Structure 1
Amino acid sequence: MITIHCRKPGQLNWVVLLVSLFHSFVLSQMAYGHVGSSGVIVQKQAGKYQLLISIKPPDVVPGTASVTVFVEQGRAGIIGARPIYFRSGDKGAPTHDILTPTGTNRYEGDLWLMSSGSSSIEFDIDGPDGKQRVVVPVMAVATALRDMPEGTGFGLAAMGLLLVVMLVTIIGASNADGVVAPGQAPPAKLGRKRVVGMGIGLIAITLILAGWRSWWNSTAEDYRNVQLYRPTPIKASVRIADGQRQLTIRFDTSGYGADRQKRRTLSYILPDHGKLMHAFLVRMPGLDAFAHLHPNRLDTLNYESALPALPGGKYMLFADVVYRSGFAETLTDTVEVPLLKISAEAAAAAKPTDPDDSWLVAEPMGVKANAVNVPHLDNDMVVCGKPGASAKLADGSSMIWMDKSAQILEAGKLYTLKFAVADAQGKATPIEPYLGMGGHAAILRSDGTVYIHLHPVGTYSMAAEGSLVSRIADTARTFHYPNAVHFRDSIDNWLAKLKTLPEVEKNRMLAASMPVMSHPMKTNNMVEFPYAFPRAGHYRIWVQVKRNGQVLTGVFDTQVNDPLL
């Protein structure tokens, strides 16, 4: 029997819908820090203020980012916001725009992002509870091509034709009418001069329009081939070595020479939560096998990780990396994992590449659980009068999805996904920091078109935030990268040292590397994630926490529908 403690009446319910996010434009092939969801959601503490920030960046740059700030705790009077690009820093940024209060403790505004690149939005909060500053990473990249509506095109074409006719007529008239003195009869050749003038005018306008069209086509081609974001290509493969399967992830730089849009500063990858790369493997089509791995860097282009005891099959791969500029990417590929039959002793003796690697084999998506020690994948309980779900964890404890607002969730609505852990006797049991945070989550739509690596602070990277905060503090107008070899070696040495530390010291060192991250859990057996499902569909959620030094993974399914209008 699992004991569930409910809130007292009147206590705030953080799972209540906070805001509707409209106009979700999803591009399944685009990936920058996630796949299929372009918004940024942040929930964090800043002094006495607890803020929930939602940013919808434009999918065409230049464009406006829609910003919404909820002050969940604290008394704020004025909130200003401004975009700051990594390459220009604070010196090249505009002044703050004041957000408009639109409700109780809610502020909104639109900010222009004028060029592509790694950027952030800096918020200045001022009020009775003091002044605070928060920086939120935002990737300012063009992800869409917009076609002009057919009606608008016809209307503009008709207006343009009218203007050309009028301009040609005016040129012809001015060429002819000037030769006639007041009171004199027009000469016989007046009409011919008017026609000649109109012909010259038509030729001049035609040349101008041809040059303008050439410029327009060139600009459109540059946007399509250079500015339009494309994720860095990778090639994943699995080989068998010494009786163990090895996953290799290689950055594909074959197009770097001809296409500058593809280029990345691969020597300047930053560790995020103490790892250079977070690689997630999910078996298709049932989403029944999952692994969260942290490959080692062999050289600038190649990363490698030993595979755990996963079943063979076709897997989707999502690899998260963060560059020194604060730009975060999710790189995607599919990989065939061969079936490897080994003895139980050999499987037990196999060591993961990283002690924080974890994996889980569960039921295929949509199958009801009816066996002991098998995750419950559907709503199977009521928690505080609301639908809930539970999952058995590998150590015999249970994970409970708390405060689920309904059996079927709505796309575009912001929820706080809250999960609690109870021991085998059903009592609340504390969880330990996992990679420097209360927990991690991965969410995947059944067809793979939506993926997100979630943290309690939201949908962005801590390493990206740290990089952009340090850049803002830099007084230089332009940023100069350090020596690539020295930078890469210093990162590798830091990571090697991190792996040798005891867990407590490692978490202390991780916390020191993420000083801007402030999001303590309110209850020591719970972890929360703010998220808005970008589109309708069937989703699987993997929630990862650490207990007694062991990484534990709970798996849950949920259906998301379009909102009722």
Structure 2
Amino acid sequence: MQKQAGKYALLISIRPPDVVPGTAVVTVFVEQGRVSQIGGRPVYFRSGDKGAPTRDILTATAANRFEGDLWLMDSGSSSVELTIDGPDGHQQIIVPIMAVATALRDMPEGTGWGLAAMGLLLVIMLVTIIGASNADGIFAPSQTSVQTLRRRRLAGMGIGLVVVVLILVGWRSWWTSEAEIYRNEQLYRPTPIQATVAGSGANRQLSIQIDTTGFGANRQRHPLLSYVLPDHGKLMHTFLVRMPGLDAFAHLHPDRRDTLRYEAVLPELPGGKYLLYADVVYRSGFAETMTDTVELPEMPAFTAMNATVPRTPSAIRPMPDPDDSWLVAKPMGVRANAVNMPHLDNDMVVCGKPGASTRLADGATMFWMDKPKQVLEAGQLYTLKFAVADAQGKAAPLEPYLGMSGHAAIIRSDGSVYIHLHPVGTYSMAAEGSLVSRLADTSRTFRYPDASRFRDSIDAYVTKLKTLPEADKNRLLMASMPAGMTHPMKINNMVQFPYAFPRAGHYRIWVQVKRNGRVLTGVFDTQVNEPLL
């Protein structure tokens, strides 16, 4: 998250644990303002402010850098509340995070044998103590023969052993039950969907059906599907990317037909196998990406629209949703498992640093500015900065696109990494708004409203947005954002995104901006290596 709070400009990185309970690693970079102390605490949507723990103070590890660990004790929609204090005032920031278990951990073999030996020793000592207490603690040695004491000691040890075994069996049964609950209920599994395409040619239609057949009794797989919130005015953001070259891309916003079904008209994409990523946000602030693959039939006489052969607006079939966008570009040209093979289009140098450029469909050019180096490092926090110049080389002012200065999607060449980025970070506007309102709520528990009424009101709101002029729609969207999320750029032809690539590999970045009422998409490739030790 990159956030402006009062006089403070902050860049915040939170790495949630992959096993819950676990600790989240919080790092805060102070880019502007005088900060003397930062405190943090986790706040869950279910329990709100009243059920949240006290704050932990982050440690100042360097100039303008604070770090700390926060315990996340339960799964679900959560947030980290940061309290900033200093000469420039007191501020609070809510950072939405998803506290979900995504991994199973096996105990190291050596640790297991060591604990088993210690446990066996404790059992022997406990049984011995019970036997001694049963004999020596009841009868004085002068009143009882040695044989009687021995028998009572052995009887006590036998009874103690039986009791200890029963305790261990009960504990084992409890532990197995808890492990099964963790594996089957707490361990996160994405909500499955089934994507299909009906029709042919210009009449192709994408249908996304949410599959609830496997939910069972798993509370983590019972998302409240009637309580989907609009994010940037859309109930679902869907990205389509053709494999293996990642050469065809679409950003669509399907309409909700019923609780489980969403539909969108497909643009002029070439046929082939596509990866599909569908983003939704629930009332609890829980943001989820549902994935599938879908086969698109080929369109007759398809003409590729790409960066080198721009098409005029009259040549593009109008879409029912003017915010939908698509692009066909050159393939990445690398194998999915290729490593250490630079393939970035280094056709220019910007401000003395490696850069890249791409031609947009309207003849303008988008530049990747201030790229720190040709090959990036996994886990390193970067600010990805892009600027647009018109055909004459002059700065091209950008218009708001869905209430923000731009959007970006980043996908690894094998499709295993995906993120929908905003200028403020990797979280959603709807998630932050939901969690901020929950924090202001004084009730200990949250009660959901009537599902039908809530769904109908949301559908009416989304429908109203579609009828508004572009300026009014963006004004309404920006007014509904929590404070500090609009993130206006100081230079009106530039957009930037904070991001840390999670794994090494080849990545393609689609940067989307809007000018002259048209959504434009720039394409950039980059290589990411593991950091050097």
TM-score by length of 2: 0.93
State whether residues 344 and 527 of structure 2, in contact with CA within 8 Å, keep that contact through their aligned partners in structure 1: no
Matched, 1:137 2:96: yes
The one-letter code of the counterpart of 1:73 is: Q
Correspondence list, 1:276-295, <5 A: 276-295=235-254
Hey, what does 2:277 align to over in structure 1?
318
Residues 292-333 of structure 1 show CA distances to partners (whole Å, capped at 9, x for unaligned) of 000011111100001111111110000000001100001111
Query: Which of 461, 470, 477 matches 1:503?
Result: 470
Could you say which residue in structure 2 is the equivalent of 1:6?
Answer: none
SS at match of 1:229: coil
Contact 1:366-1:557 within 8 A present in 2 as well = no
Shift of 1:495: 1.0
In the alignment, is residue 546 of structure 1 matched against residue 514 of structure 2? Answer: yes
Q: CA deviation at 1:187?
A: 3.7
Residue correspondence of structure 1 range 230-379 to structure 2 within 5 A: 230-240=189-199, 243-341=202-300, 350-366=317-333, 378-379=345-346
Contact 1:296 1:353 in 2 (8 A): no
1:393 Cα deviation (Å)?
Answer: 0.4
Gaps of 5+ in 2: 304-311, 335-342
1:408 aligns with 2:367: no
- Structure 2 CA distance for partners of 1:184 and 1:489, relative to 1, 3 Å: closer
Amino acid of the residue matched to residue 513 of structure 2? V
Contact 1:443 1:452 in 2 (8 A): yes
Q: Determine the structure 2 residue equivalent to 1:556.
A: 524
In 2, distance between residues paired with 1:240 and 1:350?
16
Instruction: Quote the offset at 1:229 in angstroms.
Output: 0.9
* Inter-CA distance 387–498: structure 2 relative to 1 (3 Å threshold): same
Instruction: After TM superposition, give the deviation of residue 343 of structure 1 in Å.
Output: 7.9
Q: Which residue identity is paired with 1:527?
A: V
TM-score w.r.t. the length of structure 1 is: 0.88
Deviations 1:160-216 (A, max 9, x none): 111111222222233333465344673434433332222222111111100000000
Q: Deviations over 1:444-466 (max 9, x none)?
A: 00111110000000010011000
- CA-to-aligned-CA distance 1:18-39 (integer Å, 9 cap, x gap): xxxxxxxxxxxxxxxxxxxxxx
Other structure's SS at 1:231 match = coil
Paired with 1:462 and 1:337, the residues of 2 have a C-alpha distance of 31
Q: Is 1:102 paired with 2:61?
A: yes
Letter matched to residue 535 of structure 1 = R
Query: Are residues 1:75 and 2:34 paired?
Result: yes
Which range moves more in the overlay, 433-442 or 477-486?
Answer: 477-486
Distance in 2 of aligned mates of 1:254 and 1:290: 30
Q: Which moved more, 1:72-81 or 1:412-421?
A: 72-81
Match of 1:10 in 2: none
**8 Å CA contact retained: 2:406, 2:422:** yes
- CA 1:419 to 1:120, structure 2 compared with 1: closer, same or farther past 3 Å? same
SS in 2 for 1:496: helix
Q: Does residue 452 of structure 2 align to residue 493 of structure 1? A: no
C-alpha displacement of 1:515: 3.4
**Within-5 A mapping of 1:424-435:** 424-435=391-402
Change (3 A) 1:180 1:500: closer
Distance 1:439 1:343, change over 3 A: closer
Match of 2:339 in 1: none
For the residue of structure 2 that corresponds to 1:112, the secondary structure is strand
Q: Looking at both structures, which has the greater relative contact order when contacts are Cα pairs under 8 Å and sequence separation is at least 6? A: 1
Name 2:489's counterpart in structure 1. Answer: 521
Structure 2 Cα separation of the partners of residues 360 and 550 of structure 1 = 13
Are the aligned partners of 1:440 and 1:455 in contact in 2 as well (CA < 8 Å)? yes
What root-mean-square deviation, in Å, do the aligned CA atoms of Structure 1 and Structure 2 show? 1.8
C-alpha distance in 2 between matches for 1:165 and 1:257: 44
Within the alignment, does 1:381 sit opposite 2:348 as a pair?
Answer: yes
Distance in structure 1 (CA, Å) of the matches to 2:344 and 2:189: 35
Conserved? CA contact 1:456–1:519, under 8 Å: yes
Q: Distance in 1 between matches of 2:75 and 2:38?
A: 25
Q: Which runs of 5+ in 1 are unaligned?
A: 1-41, 368-375
CA contact (8 A) 2:80 2:97 kept: yes
Q: How does 1:31-110 map to 2 (within 5 A)?
A: 42-110=1-69
What aligned pairs does 1:473-488 form with structure 2 within 5 A after superposition? 473-488=440-455
Matched residue count: 515
Alignment of 1:183-202 (within 5 A): 183=142, 186-202=145-161
**Identity percentage of aligned residues:** 76
Q: Write the letter of the residue equivalent to 2:331.
A: P
Partner Cα distance (1:261, 1:128) in 2: 43
